[in-house]
Chains A and B, each alone.
Chain A
């Protein structure tokens, strides 16, 4: 489903990603963890071309991304309908209702009939537990509810891969659970997901695999039982040690 080959990216003289290679198969949930500034978010953003990279190649959901491929409208459109993204700060459209937030992209990008898009939006809202809030505006919702709408919005494009960039970091602890429940549900449904997170719970119980990213590279890559419980690298040991405290 995803193949990352020798990805490198630098901001000026500072290397952000150094020679990252990885494979993800369909249905996997990857928890991407590691210290701040290690390149987790940048790697994620390179996967749907919100960031460009300098060398290497990404093949994701059948779309091949090459270095510095910022433009190429048709490729980007294909990529982004197949790869959904959920942001730390939700980024819902404040001028649109929940339903309009969810139906905008299907209607505009894929020309789905409004009635069809609306029906699908209601299904998705039901799935994230917000069936009754379809006509609310984002500012009327709690942070947890907004993030669940954002997930429904990403799902409305029927993506093959979902990318999460710290989906619970901006939430109060009591709201993280409701978002985690949705992610757990998606994992159970077989969605391929990459989740940048600091949630131990997600890494140990939902993820099929954990990547520890540090200084622009994947320091450790394996099932939770191995990476979390018996880390080999010093960075993973330090990281999980801090989280457990």
Chain B
């Protein structure tokens, strides 16, 4: 039993999940802290302590079951598959009731009624979703709002956090944001963002529910009863009022479960293949341009470090340490969101620039090594022929250093190809992001994962073959000697 508890096995145990919960005295629920205020978030004064109206609801609900609630951190878009896998007892984090989810898991009675709210820039000529045809509209990945947008002739722009969609709206990178009213009122139309207005009129109504596994009807029933009791004795209202979330919508009648919008992929069909190919196209395009940027940056830095004066040497060294020593993810965030008030870049431009600047630091070290490896005689021969320092570099040293650098450069390019998946944090839907979207739509990682892997290989293998041929052609005199 101890082993069983440790590894968290479920179906093997004859006792139901509810009995197990009672036995261990803990009800675990999957949620994502990135959802943030007011759902659930770390107490700024004590990060080990969680706050939020969902935390309050969970505590009350657990108390009514005679146990304690414990949060488990999971990426929001993976809450349902993780619940199905048995990683926690219930999923509870702004989970909208949808027909699609109802097929996969059991949905509880609602604990909150939300409204999809459209936010636009003040003075923008948009009043309804219909006005936004062909425009970029931000939302969160895998939400009902995302499905609504997919059914409209707009271009959905996907985010993982609540701040970013509205930041991009202010930066005019999108024309509108469609999200639940909770998020819109807390992150969008707030005094510190005077540019953003939330349009009146709910685009759609929906409910937040608690998800349980289909194999746990007892637990589902217990949760429904607990929520109903909380609603009846006013505890739910108290909790929602405390979070300033109580409104007329909460007294019912509750809206229908959002019907299947028919926009999610159901199988890996031709349409999916096309989307994957498009994602691979972005991956290749961004990687190629980023590398084309990284090579000259690296070359300049390497020359500065090897041949420059103290100032150039120091500056190049600071650059290399700065870009190599901090995560590229952070650099992308700073470039795209951090600098936006002064320098608003498009997502693809920011992706290319961010990866290019970062890989420039790595290329610099590759070229520096290659330049240091140049025989002194080459420089002397060039000098003796009258070539100046720059001519010596350009005509004699750099071409030879590039030949030496070719194998590590190929390495770096393949690595860049894969690192380019990080640019999804700045809303570019490249290959890996496409795969994660498809995996949720198709409710499985295997097929999209394999397709994704094959496409990455299809990009990297020909490139390393090309590099191999180039190497053979350029480095004719650098064949290995027998040992």
Contacts and interface: CB of A to CB of B under 8 A. Distances in A.
B383 A105 contact: no
Interface in A71-91: 73, 76-77, 80-81, 84-85, 87, 89, 91
A87 B378 contact: no
Contacts of B399: 95
A50 B384 CA distance: 7
Contacts of A104: 385, 387, 395-396
Nearest to A77: B386
Nearest to A110: B386
Contacts of B381: 85, 87, 91-93
Contacts of A138: 477
Contacts, number: 64
Given A84-B384, A94-B477, A139-B476, A109 B400 contact: no
A137 B385 contact: no
A157 B474 contact: no
A91 B387 contact: no
A105 B400 contact: no
A33 to B, nearest CB: 22
A245 to B, nearest CB: 32
Interface in A112-163: 137-139, 153-154, 157
A85 B387 CA distance: 13
A95 B400 contact: yes
Contact of A91 (B377, B386, B474): B377
A95 B387 contact: no
B403 interface: yes
B380 to A, nearest CB: 6
A52 interface: no
Contact of B387 (A48, A109, A154): A109
B310 to A, nearest CB: 17
Contact of B388 (A73, A95, A157): A73
Contacts of B375: 91
Nearest to A138: B477
Contacts of A85: 381, 384
A13 interface: no
A137 B377 contact: no
Contact of B477 (A87, A109, A137, A153): A137
A73 B396 CA distance: 18
Contact of B386 (A81, A87, A89, A139): A81
Interface string B370-384: 000001011011111
A243 interface: no
B128 interface: no
Q: Among A89, A94, A139, which residue has the most Cβ atoms of chain B within 10 A?
A: A94
A153 B380 contact: no
B391 interface: yes
Contacts of A230: none
Contacts of A139: 476-477
Contacts of B388: 73, 77
Contact of A95 (B384, B386, B474): B474
A93 B378 contact: yes
B476 A137 contact: yes
Interface in B125-171: none
Contacts of B476: 137, 139
Interface in B391-432: 391, 395-396, 399-400, 403
Contact of B377 (A87, A108, A110): A87
Nearest to A73: B388
Given A87-B377, A137-B476, A108 B384 contact: no
Given A50-B383, A85-B384, A108 B477 contact: no
A136 to B, nearest CB: 10
A91 B380 contact: yes
A105 B387 contact: yes
A87 B375 CA distance: 13
Nearest to B478: A94
Contact of A157 (B377, B385, B403, B477): B385
A52 to B, nearest CB: 13
Q: Among B386, B400, B403, which residue has the most Cβ atoms of chain A within 10 A?
A: B386
B308 to A, nearest CB: 16
A54 B403 CA distance: 39
B121 to A, nearest CB: 56
Contact of B380 (A50, A77, A105, A157): A50
B399 to A, nearest CB: 5
Contacts of A110: 386
A99 to B, nearest CB: 14
Contacts of A48: 384
Contact of B391 (A81, A84, A93, A109): A109
A91 B477 CA distance: 14
Contacts of B378: 91, 93
Contacts of A109: 385-387, 391
Contacts of A80: 383-386
B478 to A, nearest CB: 8
Nearest to B388: A73
A196 to B, nearest CB: 14
B400 A94 contact: yes
Contacts of A84: 384-385
A50 B376 CA distance: 12
A81 B375 CA distance: 23
A85 to B, nearest CB: 4
Contacts of A81: 386
A174 to B, nearest CB: 23
A103 to B, nearest CB: 11
A93 B396 contact: yes
B387 to A, nearest CB: 6
Nearest to A89: B377
A109 B377 CA distance: 19
A65 to B, nearest CB: 14
A95 B381 CA distance: 14
A95 B377 CA distance: 14
A34 to B, nearest CB: 22
21 contacts: A76-B386, A77-B388, A80-B383, A80-B385, A81-B386, A85-B381, A87-B377, A87-B381, A87-B384, A91-B378, A91-B380, A92-B381, A93-B378, A94-B477, A95-B400, A95-B474, A104-B387, A104-B396, A109-B385, A137-B476, A139-B476
Given A91-B378, A93-B378, 6 more contacts: A73-B388, A76-B386, A77-B386, A104-B396, A105-B386, A157-B386
7 A-B pairs closest in CB distance: A139-B477, A91-B381, A105-B385, A80-B386, A85-B384, A91-B377, A109-B386
